[in-house]
Amino acid sequence: MMEINILAQEKPKVIKLADGKEYNLPVIDLTTLANIEKSMGFGLGKFAAKMDNEPMTTIRSLVYALLRESYPDMTLDAVGHLITLNEIKALSETISTIMAMT
């Protein structure tokens, strides 16, 4: 059975947030993952535990870290205001991919 490299297959994604605008999510590559860790302030090895203990704070931090790649002027609070439960559902594939790597 051939091993699948999920990083190699990753494509940029576009997500519509609560303001009705579409935002580009970066390709999940090693640099993006390292930037996520730096932005969130903890290693991805702690991601699952953070999701268990602080799921909304962690999701907001993750989306902020992802959007920061393309939208460096966006603030953490601004990102939080753009995410409703609908957006969390739409982001679930990206969140699951990152959780699978931890």
- State if pTM tops 0.85: no
Is 32 a domain residue? Answer: yes
Domain count, the chain: 1
Is 2 a domain residue? Answer: no
Any idea of the CA torsion for 45, 46, 47, 53, to the nearest 10 degrees?
160
More confident residue, 32 or 94: 32
Is 43 a domain residue? Answer: yes
H or E stretch covering 76: helix 76-81
Kindly report the average pLDDT of the chain as a whole number. Answer: 84
pLDDT digits (tens, 9 = 90+) for 74-95: 999 999 999 998 888 878 777 7
Is 84 a domain residue? Answer: yes
Neighbours of 43 (CB within 10 A): 13
Is 3 a domain residue? Answer: no
Is 1 a domain residue? Answer: no
Q: State which residues form the domain around 55.
A: 8-100
Question: Any idea which residue has 């920061």 for tokens?
Answer: 68
